[in-house]
């Protein structure tokens, strides 16, 4: 084999080795970033779960003490989680639940009521359209609409039929949802008999 052939063979082998090295480096980089992404996802999920637990604990404490500031802390936590991931329905549900509690407090505070009522309805409608949260979402939406009636009785004529329909749908979707029956009972109790109300 002459020098020219040896040189060509060396160059070909060198190219093959270079290609293998590039492929190896690319593969290693892909694996590295895949693992890094997986670790970050797991870390984010764990952090989110911890934040959810903290928010739920705060909301429970706020409900017992009926404390606006504690509700606000819970609201901020759920809001941050939902802002980071708009597909997180548990965060949206809990966020909307706190908004509902603000509306309760807002029955004597117009500014507080007006601040949350529109977004509470929008959030509850979004939850009720999600299959996995349909029963709870419809129940929560009905509760929020009931608060609108409490604040302004003039809306009873238009909202009452919708509330009853939502609660009926919630009960059909999940016959074991106690909140749907509770809210439905409260609705009937506070509705005049002429409009379908009943003490039974």
> Where are the domains positioned within the chain?
3-195
**For residue 48, what pLDDT is reported?**
83
**For residue 40, what pLDDT is reported?**
40
CA atoms within 13 A on the CB side of 27: 6
In CATH terms, the fold of domain 3-195 is: 1.25.40
Which ranges constitute the DSSP H helices of 66-177? 68-84, 89-105, 110-128, 134-151, 156-173
The length of the chain is 200
44-88 pLDDT, tens digit each: 455 788 999 999 999 999 999 999 999 999 999 999 999 999 999
Q: What is the DSSP letter of 193?
A: G
Region of 196 on the Ramachandran plot (φ > 0 left; ψ -120 to 50 alpha; else beta): left
95-150 pLDDT, tens digit each: 999 999 999 998 788 999 999 999 999 999 999 999 999 999 999 999 999 999 98
53-64 pLDDT, tens digit each: 999 999 999 999
Which residue bears the tokens 């009931």? Answer: 146
- Is residue 42 pLDDT above 60, yes or no? no
- Is residue 18 pLDDT above 80, yes or no? no
Nearest CA to 68 among 129, 113, 17, 24?
A: 113
**For residue 68, what pLDDT is reported?**
94
- Is residue 39 pLDDT above 90, yes or no? no
- Is residue 27 pLDDT above 90, yes or no? no
**For residue 196, what pLDDT is reported?**
55
**For residue 200, what pLDDT is reported?**
59
Which residue bears the tokens 């694996």? Answer: 31
More confident residue, 196 or 116: 116
Which residue bears the tokens 């807002």? Answer: 106
Nearest CA to 135 among 171, 104, 108?
A: 171
**For residue 41, what pLDDT is reported?**
42
Measured CA to CA in angstroms, residue 17 lies from 31, 94, 151 at distances of 21, 58, 77
- Is residue 43 pLDDT above 50, yes or no? no
Burial 34-58 (b: 16+ CB within 10 A, else e): eeeeeeeeeeeeeebeebbeebbeb
137-189 pLDDT, tens digit each: 999 999 999 999 988 888 988 999 999 999 999 999 999 999 999 888 888 77
**For residue 9, what pLDDT is reported?**
45
Nearest CA to 82 among 113, 117, 112, 127?
A: 127
- Entry pTM: 0.74
């Amino acid at each position: 084999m002459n020098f020219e052939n040896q040189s060509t063979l060396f160059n070909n082998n060198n190219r093959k080795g270079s290609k293998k090295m590039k492929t190896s480096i690319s593969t290693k980089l892909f694996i590295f970033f895949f693992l890094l992404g997986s670790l970050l996802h797991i870390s984010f999920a764990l952090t989110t779960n911890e934040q959810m637990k903290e928010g739920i604990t705060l909301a429970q404490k706020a409900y017992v003490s009926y404390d606006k500031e504690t509700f606000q802390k819970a609201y901020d936590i759920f809001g941050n989680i939902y802002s980071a991931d708009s597909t997180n329905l548990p965060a949206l549900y809990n966020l909307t639940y706190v908004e509902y509690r603000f509306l309760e407090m807002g029955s004597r505070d117009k500014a507080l009521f007006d601040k949350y009522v529109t977004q509470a309805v929008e959030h509850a409608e979004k939850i009720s359209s999600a299959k996995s949260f349909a029963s709870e979402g419809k129940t929560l939406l009905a509760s929020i609409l009931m608060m609108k009636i409490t604040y302004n009785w003039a809306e009873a004529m238009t909202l009452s039929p919708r509330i009853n329909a939502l609660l009926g749908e919630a009960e059909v979707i999940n016959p074991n949802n106690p909140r749907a029956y509770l809210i439905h009972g409260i609705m009937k109790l506070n509705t005049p008999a002429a409009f379908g109300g009943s003490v039974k």
